Structure 1
Amino acid sequence: MQQVISVWVRDPRIQKNDFWHAYMDYEICLHTNSVFFNKKTSRVRRRFSEFVWLRQKLQENSLLLLKLPELPPKNPFFSLNNAQQVADRMKGLEKFLEKILQSNLVLSDSCLHLFLQSQLSISKMEACVAGKTSFTVAQAVQNCGLRRFHSEEDLQRDLGVSCDSDSDSSESRDPRHKTKELTLNKSRSAAILDRRGTCPEEMLSCSNGSV
């Protein structure tokens, strides 16, 4: 049976870091019967700077044995509200993925699988590939979207790592702003618990039961 890997980049969405700063991410849909993929269908969201990271890691890991295709060029005048610019970038990102997925060398790279089939951040993808996480690459792919990879500990760790800025973002995320929000949310949650007379352990039990 002929092996097929179909990939689409679609559904651009503007995501806000805060009131002033925003970026755009895209949904990557994958359908395949390839033996290189344990998970045959998937959907994740990635931003342009993560595509830049992927290309760099794949080039490094191939030991220069492979010349990778180029990503769509950065445009200093890129506008999140310019439909034509967004469409052109999206088409360029899709062509990039289609070309690299034709290489068996690239298909054997764990970074590619985490990028395409998990929602881990760049720092977590690098840690996972290096064996520095409590889960393997295969587990990250199979459990994409489950709570075990989005715990409060994970959130705090991710907040400590600033994202690389790119042309579709006016400024990278400010970890201090997010940490302040997290602290505020914790205080609000504690107040709600006090008013309801519900202990954190009981709420955790109910939460776990709903997974």
Structure 2
Amino acid sequence: MQQVIHSWVRDPRIRKNDFWHAYIDYEICLHTDSVYFTKKTSSVRRRYSEFVWLRQKLQANSLLMIQLPELPPKNPFFSLNNAQQITERMKGLQKFLEQILQSPLLLSDSCLHLFLQSELSVSKIEACAAGRTHYSVAQAVQRCGLRRFHSEEDLQKQRSMCCDSDSDSSECRDPEPQMKDLAINKAESTASLDLLGTSQEESFSCSSGST
């Protein structure tokens, strides 16, 4: 039987590091019956710079045996108030994921699984994949709390979208939502910081709900 892997990049939300610096992260939703994945349904949030890291890591780990697809280019004029730019970036990130998830070689890479199904920071993903943590890759994935998998309809009902500058990162959302609400709801979405790489990760208490 043919195995199916569905992925979505959606729900852009603004995150604020401090008064001057903010970025957008995006939700990555995964639904699959593939034997490559222990968890069949998951949801995590990642930012654009983490996608850049993932591509570089996968390219290095594959020993240049395959040429990875391109990410949407970094735009020095990327604006959190530009709905079209945000939508185009989301579509580009989703296309990138769809293409790499078609490669059996890449599907065997632990970094990809931790990127998609844990909320570890990229530095901790590298450490875990290299066996330098007290937990294994499987434990990192399994101990992340499951969250209910939201439908597009649910997301539209809960929409409070936000945008960002060319930093990157977000939660699960519709690829083409009502982007005009981004700027309006900016203050709401920036309230909670994304503490990737902190004690949250070490305790595997994935508050944003990955799988």
TM-score by length of 2: 0.69
Identity across matched positions, percent: 80
2:32 corresponds to which residue?
A: 32
2:118 corresponds to which residue?
A: 118
Cα offset, 1:26, TM superposition: 0.0
- SS of 2:28's partner is strand
RMSD: 1.4
* Distance in 2 between residues matched to 1:51 and 1:169, nearest whole Å: 11
* Distance in 1 between residues matched to 2:117 and 2:59, nearest whole Å: 19
Higher relative helix content: 1
Unaligned runs of 5+ in 2: 147-164, 169-211
Deviation track 1:115-134 (CA, whole Å, cap 9, x = no partner) reads: 00000001110110111111
Tell me, yes or no, if structure 1 residue 100 matches structure 2 residue 116. Answer: no
Q: Which has the higher contact order (CA 8 A, sep 6+)?
A: 2
| Structure 1 residue identity aligned to 2:110 | S
Query: Is the contact made by 2:8 and 2:30 (CA closer than 8 Å) also made in structure 1?
Result: yes
Tell me, yes or no, if structure 1 residue 68 matches structure 2 residue 47. Answer: no
**Over 6 Å off, 4+ runs:** none
* Distance in 2 between residues matched to 1:118 and 1:81, nearest whole Å: 29
1:194 corresponds to which residue?
A: none
Cα offset, 1:145, TM superposition: 4.1
TM-score by length of 1: 0.69
* Distance in 2 between residues matched to 1:34 and 1:48, nearest whole Å: 26
Structure 1 or 2, whichever has the larger Rg, is 1
* Distance in 2 between residues matched to 1:108 and 1:88, nearest whole Å: 29
Query: Is the contact made by 2:7 and 2:28 (CA closer than 8 Å) also made in structure 1?
Result: yes
Cα offset, 1:2, TM superposition: 1.8
Cα offset, 1:169, TM superposition: 2.8
Count of residues paired in the alignment: 150
Cα offset, 1:81, TM superposition: 1.6
Deviation track 1:184-205 (CA, whole Å, cap 9, x = no partner) reads: xxxxxxxxxxxxxxxxxxxxxx
* Distance in 2 between residues matched to 1:108 and 1:89, nearest whole Å: 26
Alignment of 1:95-174 (within 5 A): 95-145=95-145, 168-169=166-167
Deviation track 1:167-190 (CA, whole Å, cap 9, x = no partner) reads: 6239xxxxxxxxxxxxxxxxxxxx
- SS of 2:128's partner is helix
